A and B are shown apart, each in its own frame.
Chain A
Amino acid sequence: MKLPYSLFSRRAFLNSLIGGWVAALGAAFISPLVKYILPPTPEPDQVSLPLAGLKDLAAGSVQGFAWGNKPGLLKKAEDGSFIAFVGVCTHLDCNVTYITEQKRFYCACHKGWYDENGINVAGPPPSPLRRLDVSVEGDALIVRKQA
């Protein structure tokens, strides 16, 4: 079917061609910049803690370790086993602390509380603290991402 008139002018066609080309060129330059601005900050696959350094940790108390750029919290249960958390509040990312006397984790930013197993019990936190897997291998304690 031949139209009696053109739907858009030659000028509009050429302008959109140039505009599209410039936009594509811009995208080609901006996408690597975005990659640079957002570098990958991967979590560690595992962290190894020598058991010798944990000898003195009393049952029921907590010791910190570095989980990548985040604080990790290693808790020695009453039966001598270990459990580990990412010590970051699930509400708005503040670091939590363990209050030994109350057997609870506490986030000071908005008064969030977790029980000794990391379950959110009071305040704004929407979900439990993130758990990490702990296993003993040789003379070290290996902390891994939960499968």
Chain B
Amino acid sequence: MKNLRAWFEERLGLDAVTGFLEKKEVPCHKYTILYYTGSSILFFLGIQIVTGVLLAFYYQPTLAEANASVARIATEMPLGWLIRSVHSWSATFMIALVFVHLLGVALTKAYRKPREATWITGALLLAASLASGFTGYLLPWDELSLAATKVGTNLPKSIPIVGAWLTGIMRAGDDVTGDTLSRFFIFHVSVLPLALVAILGVHLFLVQRHGMSVPLEEERKGGKGPVLPFWPNFAYREAGVWLILLGLLVTIAVFFAPGLGPRADLMAPAPEGIKPEWYFLFMFQTLKLFPGRILGLNGEMVAVLVMIAGMGLVAFLPFLDDRPAERKGKIITGLVWAGLAYAVAMSIWSLL
């Protein structure tokens, strides 16, 4: 046993990693609970990868077969309905936790120097997660998913100069067709996961490199506060949180399995009540509120540009909030709360 360990150590040199993890410490304070959000996102990502691979065993990304193969997974394959339901619900859990993680980091200002790059990789991970949700939504190829994809891929069109070109790239031409489905499939199962895992590697490396961030008020107290060893104390606590989340996920997935609409018909009129996934609702509602023309400009173009500006502000928040401890920092915290209130209010409004 000892020889085997030495054999691997000589070749892999993993003692550096285990040594690091043995020494790693997690600060204990009022907001320690926020540290669990990151690992919980990882947990759901793992579930997404496993259930996604399982779904891909039987899913067929073609115009003729996509809808029928999802129906086959849900009705014929042993426990296929549950695997599909877990994949769908785990996506919701993961994105919800991504938002909580983002808000937690923003409100405790964990992005402040020297962690700006960690925040930016986080913003990229957010984009990749949302893109995964968007591309995955089309794959069952039912009426709703087709209509939502048509609307979603139409939005970039209103960006000046590059817009039409972007829409063409997303759709594989002017219209949503079978080629769009192939494209969304390969992005959903290959391009986006690879990008996600690569950026995640950098993100996790940076988190370890800088250590766990401590909220401003704790930092101001000075000195080293109480800490918990990462291994095994914190890791076991995380395992407990994962277990609770897993129980919650499977329970919800069993009782609320997603449905499947009739096969999408490219020539049919759009169905009533189309809605994107819940995490896009606030953008959906914002778009509905913008009038057709604003000061002689196309209203949709203004709305899309405002949204892009908003995304830019989020992505570069650490650079805007360069004096977190001062008045400017407080104003920015207020704006983060306002942004949250806006998103929640818009989402609820869109459901009414």
Contact = CB atoms under 8 A, between A and B. Distances in A.
A36 interface: yes
A37 B54 contact: yes
B9 interface: no
B57 A37 contact: yes
A33 B80 CA distance: 9
Contacts of A32: 78-79, 82
Contacts of B77: 36, 39
Interface residues of B, number: 10
Interface string B167-190: 000000000000000000000000
A40 B76 CA distance: 10
A35 interface: yes
Nearest to A33: B54
B91 interface: no
A10 B57 CA distance: 45
Interface string B70-114: 000000111110110000000000000000000000000000000
Most B CB contacts (10 A, CB to CB) among A32, A33, A36, A37 go to A36
Contacts of A40: 78
Nearest to B80: A36
Nearest to A38: B78
Contacts of A39: 76-78
Contacts of B78: 32, 35-36, 39-40
B193 to A, nearest CB: 19
B76 to A, nearest CB: 7
Nearest to B72: A39
B76 A36 contact: no
A39 B75 CA distance: 12
A125 to B, nearest CB: 32
A39 B69 CA distance: 14
A39 B76 CA distance: 9
Contacts of A33: 50, 54, 79, 83
Nearest to B243: A25
Interface string A28-45: 000011011101100000
Nearest to B55: A36
Nearest to B51: A33
Nearest to A35: B78
A22 to B, nearest CB: 9
Contacts of B50: 33
Q: Give the interface centre of A37, A39, A40 by most chain B CB atoms within 10 Å.
A: A39
Given A33-B79, A35-B79, A40-B78, 6 more contacts: A33-B54, A33-B83, A36-B77, A36-B78, A36-B83, A39-B78
21 contacts: A32-B78, A32-B79, A32-B82, A33-B50, A33-B54, A33-B79, A33-B83, A35-B78, A35-B79, A36-B54, A36-B77, A36-B78, A36-B79, A36-B80, A36-B83, A37-B54, A37-B57, A39-B76, A39-B77, A39-B78, A40-B78
Interface of A: 32-33, 35-37, 39-40
A-B pairs with lowest CB-CB distance, top 4: A35-B78, A32-B79, A36-B79, A39-B77
